[in-house]
Amino acid sequence: MSLSLHSPPSSFLSSSLPKSTLGFANGSSFSTLFFNSNISFPVLRASSSSVDVGSSTELDAVSTFSEIVPDTVIFDDFEKFPPTAATVSSSLLLGILSLPDTIFRNAVDMALADSTCSRLDNPELRLSCFVNKALVNVGGDLAKLVPGRVSTEVDARLAYNTHGIIRRVHDLLKLYDDINVPPERLLFKIPSTWQGIEASRLLESEGIQTHMTFVYSFAQAAAAAQAGASVIQIFIGRVRDWARSHSGDPEIEAAIHRGEDPGLALVTKAYNYIHKYGHKSKLMAAAVRNKQDLFSLLGVDYIIAPLKILLSLKESITAPDEKYSYVRRLSPQSAASYEFTAEELTKWDQLSFASAMGPASVELLAAGLDGYANQTKRAEELLDKIWPPPNV
Protein backbone atom coordinates (compact mmCIF):
# COMPACT_ATOMS: atom_id res chain seq x y z
CA MET A 1 0.00 0.00 0.00
CA SER A 2 1.96 2.86 -1.06
CA LEU A 3 3.54 5.05 -3.60
CA SER A 4 6.52 6.10 -5.34
CA LEU A 5 9.04 8.51 -4.78
CA HIS A 6 11.86 9.83 -6.71
CA SER A 7 13.41 13.24 -6.30
CA PRO A 8 11.44 15.05 -9.05
CA PRO A 9 8.38 16.96 -7.79
CA SER A 10 6.12 14.68 -9.84
CA SER A 11 6.63 11.99 -7.23
CA PHE A 12 4.56 12.95 -4.21
CA LEU A 13 6.34 10.87 -1.62
CA SER A 14 9.81 12.04 -2.45
CA SER A 15 11.58 14.56 -0.34
CA SER A 16 15.21 14.39 -1.33
CA LEU A 17 14.84 10.68 -0.78
CA PRO A 18 15.92 7.81 -2.98
CA LYS A 19 13.28 6.44 -5.27
CA SER A 20 10.85 4.32 -3.36
CA THR A 21 7.42 2.84 -3.46
CA LEU A 22 4.65 3.00 -0.92
CA GLY A 23 1.89 0.47 -1.31
CA PHE A 24 -1.78 0.72 -0.43
CA ALA A 25 -4.33 -1.67 0.93
CA ASN A 26 -6.38 -3.50 -1.63
CA GLY A 27 -9.24 -4.53 0.62
CA SER A 28 -8.04 -8.04 1.29
CA SER A 29 -8.31 -9.56 4.74
CA PHE A 30 -4.66 -8.71 5.26
CA SER A 31 -4.92 -5.35 3.61
CA THR A 32 -2.33 -3.25 5.38
CA LEU A 33 0.71 -3.71 3.33
CA PHE A 34 4.09 -2.38 2.67
CA PHE A 35 5.79 -2.73 -0.60
CA ASN A 36 8.56 -2.13 -2.92
CA SER A 37 10.60 -3.82 -5.51
CA ASN A 38 14.23 -4.27 -6.33
CA ILE A 39 13.17 -3.72 -9.92
CA SER A 40 14.04 -0.29 -11.27
CA PHE A 41 10.83 1.62 -11.92
CA PRO A 42 11.61 4.59 -14.18
CA VAL A 43 10.06 7.95 -13.50
CA LEU A 44 7.02 8.70 -15.62
CA ARG A 45 7.95 10.20 -18.98
CA ALA A 46 5.52 12.70 -20.40
CA SER A 47 7.25 13.26 -23.70
CA SER A 48 6.34 10.15 -25.67
CA SER A 49 3.20 8.22 -26.54
CA SER A 50 4.83 4.87 -27.17
CA VAL A 51 8.17 3.23 -26.57
CA ASP A 52 10.57 0.95 -28.37
CA VAL A 53 10.99 -1.61 -25.65
CA GLY A 54 13.78 -3.54 -27.31
CA SER A 55 14.70 -6.85 -25.77
CA SER A 56 13.27 -6.04 -22.35
CA THR A 57 10.44 -7.20 -20.16
CA GLU A 58 6.85 -6.00 -20.25
CA LEU A 59 7.46 -4.56 -16.80
CA ASP A 60 10.28 -2.42 -18.16
CA ALA A 61 8.00 -1.24 -20.95
CA VAL A 62 5.01 -0.26 -18.84
CA SER A 63 7.21 1.35 -16.18
CA THR A 64 8.25 3.88 -18.81
CA PHE A 65 4.78 5.41 -18.64
CA SER A 66 3.62 5.01 -15.02
CA GLU A 67 5.16 4.25 -11.66
CA ILE A 68 4.24 0.63 -10.91
CA VAL A 69 3.59 -0.12 -7.25
CA PRO A 70 3.77 -3.73 -6.02
CA ASP A 71 0.78 -4.70 -3.89
CA THR A 72 2.06 -7.13 -1.28
CA VAL A 73 1.88 -7.87 2.43
CA ILE A 74 4.83 -7.57 4.76
CA PHE A 75 5.26 -11.31 5.07
CA ASP A 76 5.78 -11.89 1.37
CA ASP A 77 9.13 -12.66 -0.22
CA PHE A 78 11.19 -9.52 0.40
CA GLU A 79 13.96 -10.78 -1.85
CA LYS A 80 11.64 -10.24 -4.79
CA PHE A 81 9.93 -7.12 -3.47
CA PRO A 82 11.92 -5.52 -0.63
CA PRO A 83 10.20 -2.47 0.87
CA THR A 84 11.50 1.06 0.34
CA ALA A 85 8.45 2.85 1.75
CA ALA A 86 5.60 1.71 3.93
CA THR A 87 2.03 1.99 5.14
CA VAL A 88 0.96 1.24 8.69
CA SER A 89 -2.63 0.56 9.70
CA SER A 90 -4.87 -1.45 11.97
CA SER A 91 -4.71 -4.46 9.67
CA LEU A 92 -0.93 -4.37 9.91
CA LEU A 93 -1.26 -4.38 13.68
CA LEU A 94 -3.52 -7.42 13.40
CA GLY A 95 -0.85 -9.18 11.36
CA ILE A 96 1.85 -8.32 13.88
CA LEU A 97 -0.28 -9.53 16.79
CA SER A 98 -0.95 -12.82 14.99
CA LEU A 99 2.78 -13.47 14.59
CA PRO A 100 4.50 -12.86 17.93
CA ASP A 101 7.99 -13.39 16.51
CA THR A 102 7.80 -10.56 13.98
CA ILE A 103 10.42 -7.83 14.34
CA PHE A 104 7.66 -5.29 14.96
CA ARG A 105 6.15 -7.02 18.00
CA ASN A 106 8.36 -5.09 20.41
CA ALA A 107 6.98 -1.83 19.00
CA VAL A 108 3.47 -2.98 19.93
CA ASP A 109 4.54 -4.19 23.37
CA MET A 110 6.21 -0.86 24.08
CA ALA A 111 3.01 0.93 23.09
CA LEU A 112 1.11 -1.14 25.65
CA ALA A 113 3.66 -0.10 28.28
CA ASP A 114 3.16 3.60 27.55
CA SER A 115 2.35 5.33 30.82
CA THR A 116 0.35 8.13 29.18
CA CYS A 117 -2.11 5.63 27.76
CA SER A 118 -2.10 3.38 30.82
CA ARG A 119 -3.16 6.24 33.09
CA LEU A 120 -6.39 6.84 31.16
CA ASP A 121 -9.38 5.61 33.17
CA ASN A 122 -11.78 5.46 30.22
CA PRO A 123 -11.27 2.03 28.60
CA GLU A 124 -12.21 3.27 25.11
CA LEU A 125 -9.81 6.21 25.28
CA ARG A 126 -7.08 3.97 26.67
CA LEU A 127 -7.43 1.45 23.84
CA SER A 128 -7.52 4.19 21.22
CA CYS A 129 -4.36 5.63 22.76
CA PHE A 130 -2.66 2.23 22.62
CA VAL A 131 -3.60 1.82 18.94
CA ASN A 132 -2.27 5.26 18.02
CA LYS A 133 0.95 4.62 19.92
CA ALA A 134 1.34 1.19 18.33
CA LEU A 135 0.76 2.60 14.83
CA VAL A 136 3.40 5.25 15.40
CA ASN A 137 5.91 2.89 17.04
CA VAL A 138 5.62 0.50 14.09
CA GLY A 139 5.73 3.44 11.69
CA GLY A 140 8.88 4.66 13.40
CA ASP A 141 10.51 1.25 13.01
CA LEU A 142 9.54 1.20 9.34
CA ALA A 143 10.96 4.68 8.84
CA LYS A 144 14.33 3.32 9.94
CA LEU A 145 14.09 0.43 7.49
CA VAL A 146 12.89 2.21 4.37
CA PRO A 147 14.24 5.29 2.58
CA GLY A 148 10.79 6.44 1.49
CA ARG A 149 7.79 7.70 3.38
CA VAL A 150 5.53 6.01 5.89
CA SER A 151 1.78 6.39 5.40
CA THR A 152 -0.42 6.13 8.47
CA GLU A 153 -4.09 5.20 8.32
CA VAL A 154 -6.52 7.50 10.10
CA ASP A 155 -9.26 5.70 12.08
CA ALA A 156 -12.16 5.10 9.68
CA ARG A 157 -14.61 5.68 12.53
CA LEU A 158 -13.72 9.38 12.24
CA ALA A 159 -14.67 9.46 8.56
CA TYR A 160 -17.60 11.84 9.08
CA ASN A 161 -15.87 14.10 11.61
CA THR A 162 -13.64 16.71 9.98
CA HIS A 163 -12.22 18.09 13.21
CA GLY A 164 -11.85 14.59 14.62
CA ILE A 165 -9.71 13.61 11.63
CA ILE A 166 -7.58 16.73 11.98
CA ARG A 167 -7.11 16.18 15.70
CA ARG A 168 -6.13 12.57 15.10
CA VAL A 169 -3.58 13.55 12.45
CA HIS A 170 -2.12 16.18 14.76
CA ASP A 171 -1.95 13.62 17.57
CA LEU A 172 -0.15 11.16 15.31
CA LEU A 173 2.25 13.86 14.14
CA LYS A 174 3.06 14.69 17.77
CA LEU A 175 3.76 11.03 18.52
CA TYR A 176 5.98 10.78 15.46
CA ASP A 177 7.79 13.93 16.54
CA ASP A 178 8.42 12.34 19.95
CA ILE A 179 10.36 9.55 18.22
CA ASN A 180 12.10 11.92 15.80
CA VAL A 181 10.27 11.04 12.60
CA PRO A 182 9.92 14.34 10.68
CA PRO A 183 6.70 15.36 8.89
CA GLU A 184 8.30 15.13 5.47
CA ARG A 185 8.63 11.37 5.97
CA LEU A 186 4.88 11.00 6.50
CA LEU A 187 1.49 11.15 4.86
CA PHE A 188 -1.95 10.30 6.19
CA LYS A 189 -4.59 8.09 4.62
CA ILE A 190 -8.10 9.51 4.93
CA PRO A 191 -11.47 8.19 3.64
CA SER A 192 -13.05 10.30 0.88
CA THR A 193 -16.20 11.38 2.66
CA TRP A 194 -17.03 15.06 2.34
CA GLN A 195 -15.77 15.52 5.89
CA GLY A 196 -12.58 13.66 5.04
CA ILE A 197 -12.02 15.83 1.98
CA GLU A 198 -12.53 18.97 4.07
CA ALA A 199 -9.99 17.63 6.58
CA SER A 200 -7.58 17.05 3.69
CA ARG A 201 -8.03 20.65 2.52
CA LEU A 202 -7.23 22.03 5.97
CA LEU A 203 -4.32 19.65 6.59
CA GLU A 204 -2.77 20.34 3.19
CA SER A 205 -2.96 24.07 3.97
CA GLU A 206 -0.71 23.28 6.95
CA GLY A 207 1.74 21.41 4.73
CA ILE A 208 0.58 17.97 5.90
CA GLN A 209 0.27 15.57 2.98
CA THR A 210 -2.85 13.48 2.66
CA HIS A 211 -3.82 10.42 0.68
CA MET A 212 -7.53 10.12 -0.09
CA THR A 213 -8.85 6.59 -0.30
CA PHE A 214 -12.20 4.92 -1.08
CA VAL A 215 -12.76 7.05 -4.20
CA TYR A 216 -15.49 5.55 -6.38
CA SER A 217 -16.99 8.55 -8.17
CA PHE A 218 -15.91 11.58 -10.17
CA ALA A 219 -17.40 13.87 -7.52
CA GLN A 220 -15.08 12.41 -4.89
CA ALA A 221 -12.03 12.64 -7.15
CA ALA A 222 -12.75 16.20 -8.29
CA ALA A 223 -13.57 17.44 -4.77
CA ALA A 224 -10.36 15.86 -3.43
CA ALA A 225 -8.36 17.51 -6.22
CA GLN A 226 -9.94 20.88 -5.44
CA ALA A 227 -9.00 20.32 -1.79
CA GLY A 228 -5.36 19.86 -2.79
CA ALA A 229 -4.99 16.24 -1.69
CA SER A 230 -1.52 14.91 -2.44
CA VAL A 231 -2.78 11.53 -3.62
CA ILE A 232 -6.17 10.31 -4.83
CA GLN A 233 -6.71 6.57 -5.07
CA ILE A 234 -9.39 4.98 -7.25
CA PHE A 235 -10.28 1.27 -7.01
CA ILE A 236 -11.13 0.34 -10.58
CA GLY A 237 -11.84 -3.34 -9.93
CA ARG A 238 -14.34 -2.61 -7.18
CA VAL A 239 -16.25 -0.20 -9.43
CA ARG A 240 -16.35 -2.86 -12.14
CA ASP A 241 -17.48 -5.54 -9.70
CA TRP A 242 -20.34 -3.34 -8.51
CA ALA A 243 -21.42 -2.66 -12.10
CA ARG A 244 -21.56 -6.38 -12.88
CA SER A 245 -24.11 -7.11 -10.17
CA HIS A 246 -25.98 -3.81 -9.79
CA SER A 247 -27.67 -1.13 -11.85
CA GLY A 248 -29.06 2.34 -11.35
CA ASP A 249 -25.86 4.38 -11.03
CA PRO A 250 -25.95 7.15 -13.66
CA GLU A 251 -22.18 7.60 -13.82
CA ILE A 252 -21.55 3.89 -14.33
CA GLU A 253 -24.41 3.47 -16.79
CA ALA A 254 -23.14 6.42 -18.86
CA ALA A 255 -19.72 4.76 -19.13
CA ILE A 256 -21.26 1.43 -20.12
CA HIS A 257 -23.43 3.20 -22.72
CA ARG A 258 -20.24 4.63 -24.24
CA GLY A 259 -18.80 1.12 -24.36
CA GLU A 260 -16.27 1.83 -21.61
CA ASP A 261 -15.27 -0.05 -18.49
CA PRO A 262 -16.68 2.07 -15.64
CA GLY A 263 -13.60 1.75 -13.44
CA LEU A 264 -11.17 2.64 -16.21
CA ALA A 265 -13.48 5.45 -17.34
CA LEU A 266 -13.44 6.95 -13.83
CA VAL A 267 -9.63 6.95 -13.71
CA THR A 268 -9.49 8.53 -17.16
CA LYS A 269 -11.92 11.32 -16.28
CA ALA A 270 -10.24 12.02 -12.93
CA TYR A 271 -6.78 12.09 -14.51
CA ASN A 272 -7.93 14.44 -17.25
CA TYR A 273 -9.62 16.73 -14.74
CA ILE A 274 -6.54 16.92 -12.52
CA HIS A 275 -4.17 17.63 -15.40
CA LYS A 276 -6.40 19.90 -17.48
CA TYR A 277 -7.13 22.24 -14.58
CA GLY A 278 -3.72 22.23 -12.94
CA HIS A 279 -4.44 20.48 -9.66
CA LYS A 280 -1.41 19.21 -7.76
CA SER A 281 -2.89 15.81 -6.89
CA LYS A 282 -1.33 12.59 -8.11
CA LEU A 283 -3.70 9.81 -9.16
CA MET A 284 -3.36 6.18 -8.17
CA ALA A 285 -5.21 3.30 -9.80
CA ALA A 286 -5.78 0.36 -7.45
CA ALA A 287 -7.66 -2.95 -7.55
CA VAL A 288 -6.04 -3.75 -10.90
CA ARG A 289 -7.23 -7.23 -11.81
CA ASN A 290 -5.23 -8.16 -14.93
CA LYS A 291 -2.56 -7.01 -17.34
CA GLN A 292 -5.10 -5.48 -19.70
CA ASP A 293 -6.24 -3.17 -16.90
CA LEU A 294 -2.67 -2.08 -16.43
CA PHE A 295 -2.08 -1.56 -20.17
CA SER A 296 -5.26 0.53 -20.33
CA LEU A 297 -4.01 2.83 -17.55
CA LEU A 298 -0.54 3.63 -18.88
CA GLY A 299 0.24 7.23 -18.15
CA VAL A 300 -1.62 7.47 -14.84
CA ASP A 301 0.74 8.59 -12.08
CA TYR A 302 0.74 5.34 -10.09
CA ILE A 303 -0.64 1.85 -10.65
CA ILE A 304 -0.93 -0.60 -7.74
CA ALA A 305 -0.61 -4.09 -9.18
CA PRO A 306 -0.78 -7.51 -7.50
CA LEU A 307 2.38 -9.59 -7.37
CA LYS A 308 1.00 -12.16 -9.81
CA ILE A 309 0.61 -9.46 -12.46
CA LEU A 310 4.05 -7.99 -11.78
CA LEU A 311 5.68 -11.40 -11.93
CA SER A 312 3.95 -12.09 -15.23
CA LEU A 313 5.14 -8.76 -16.60
CA LYS A 314 8.65 -9.39 -15.33
CA GLU A 315 8.79 -12.83 -16.92
CA SER A 316 7.38 -11.69 -20.30
CA ILE A 317 10.13 -10.69 -22.71
CA THR A 318 9.36 -8.21 -25.47
CA ALA A 319 11.39 -8.36 -28.67
CA PRO A 320 12.16 -5.29 -30.83
CA ASP A 321 9.91 -6.53 -33.62
CA GLU A 322 7.03 -7.55 -31.38
CA LYS A 323 3.70 -6.39 -32.79
CA TYR A 324 2.25 -5.32 -29.44
CA SER A 325 2.56 -1.57 -29.04
CA TYR A 326 2.87 -0.11 -25.57
CA VAL A 327 0.97 3.15 -25.85
CA ARG A 328 0.50 5.85 -23.27
CA ARG A 329 -3.25 6.04 -22.70
CA LEU A 330 -3.30 9.07 -20.39
CA SER A 331 -1.26 12.24 -20.77
CA PRO A 332 -1.49 15.96 -20.00
CA GLN A 333 -1.77 16.51 -23.74
CA SER A 334 -4.82 14.31 -24.10
CA ALA A 335 -6.28 15.79 -20.91
CA ALA A 336 -6.17 19.25 -22.44
CA SER A 337 -8.68 18.25 -25.11
CA TYR A 338 -11.05 16.38 -22.80
CA GLU A 339 -14.46 18.04 -22.54
CA PHE A 340 -16.26 18.36 -19.20
CA THR A 341 -19.83 19.38 -18.59
CA ALA A 342 -20.72 22.47 -16.59
CA GLU A 343 -21.96 20.23 -13.78
CA GLU A 344 -18.62 18.43 -13.62
CA LEU A 345 -16.75 21.75 -13.37
CA THR A 346 -18.68 22.92 -10.33
CA LYS A 347 -16.93 24.19 -7.23
CA TRP A 348 -17.86 21.29 -5.01
CA ASP A 349 -19.62 21.88 -1.71
CA GLN A 350 -21.29 19.42 0.64
CA LEU A 351 -24.69 19.65 -1.05
CA SER A 352 -23.47 19.22 -4.62
CA PHE A 353 -21.12 16.46 -3.48
CA ALA A 354 -23.92 14.52 -1.78
CA SER A 355 -26.21 14.97 -4.79
CA ALA A 356 -23.56 13.64 -7.18
CA MET A 357 -22.76 10.51 -5.16
CA GLY A 358 -24.49 7.65 -6.94
CA PRO A 359 -25.44 4.30 -5.37
CA ALA A 360 -22.14 2.68 -6.35
CA SER A 361 -19.95 5.21 -4.55
CA VAL A 362 -22.30 5.33 -1.56
CA GLU A 363 -22.35 1.56 -1.12
CA LEU A 364 -18.66 0.98 -1.84
CA LEU A 365 -17.59 3.80 0.47
CA ALA A 366 -19.78 2.42 3.27
CA ALA A 367 -18.38 -1.08 2.78
CA GLY A 368 -14.81 0.20 2.88
CA LEU A 369 -15.42 2.21 6.03
CA ASP A 370 -17.08 -0.75 7.74
CA GLY A 371 -14.15 -2.99 6.87
CA TYR A 372 -11.54 -0.57 8.18
CA ALA A 373 -13.56 0.21 11.30
CA ASN A 374 -13.92 -3.50 12.07
CA GLN A 375 -10.18 -4.00 11.68
CA THR A 376 -9.49 -1.18 14.13
CA LYS A 377 -11.98 -2.62 16.61
CA ARG A 378 -10.39 -6.07 16.32
CA ALA A 379 -6.96 -4.55 16.91
CA GLU A 380 -8.24 -2.79 20.02
CA GLU A 381 -9.78 -6.01 21.31
CA LEU A 382 -6.54 -7.92 20.84
CA LEU A 383 -4.53 -5.20 22.55
CA ASP A 384 -6.98 -5.22 25.44
CA LYS A 385 -6.49 -8.97 25.88
CA ILE A 386 -2.70 -8.70 26.20
CA TRP A 387 -2.53 -5.50 28.27
CA PRO A 388 -0.45 -5.14 30.30
CA PRO A 389 2.22 -7.03 28.33
CA PRO A 390 4.63 -9.38 30.10
CA ASN A 391 8.28 -8.54 30.63
CA VAL A 392 7.95 -4.84 29.89
Active-site residue numbers?
189
Contacts of 383 (CB under 8 A, 6+ apart): 93, 97, 108, 112, 127, 130, 131, 134
**142, 34 Cβ separation under 8 angstroms:** yes
Of 66, 230, 143, 162, the residue nearest 213 (C-alpha)? 230
What is the gyration radius of the CA atoms in the chain, in angstroms? Answer: 21
DSSP 178-195: HTT--GGGEEEEEE-SHH
Contacts of 219 (CB under 8 A, 6+ apart): 348, 352, 353, 356, 357, 361
Peptide bond preceding 388 in cis form (omega within 30 of 0): yes
Of 328, 327, 326, 340, the residue nearest 270 (C-alpha)? 340
Q: Beta strand pairing status for 302-306 and 67-71?
A: parallel
Helix axes 162-178, 123-145, angle to 10 degrees: 50
Cα 153 from chain centre: 10
**142, 107 Cβ separation under 8 angstroms:** no
**283, 302 Cβ separation under 8 angstroms:** yes
* H or E segment to which residue 282 belongs: strand 282-286
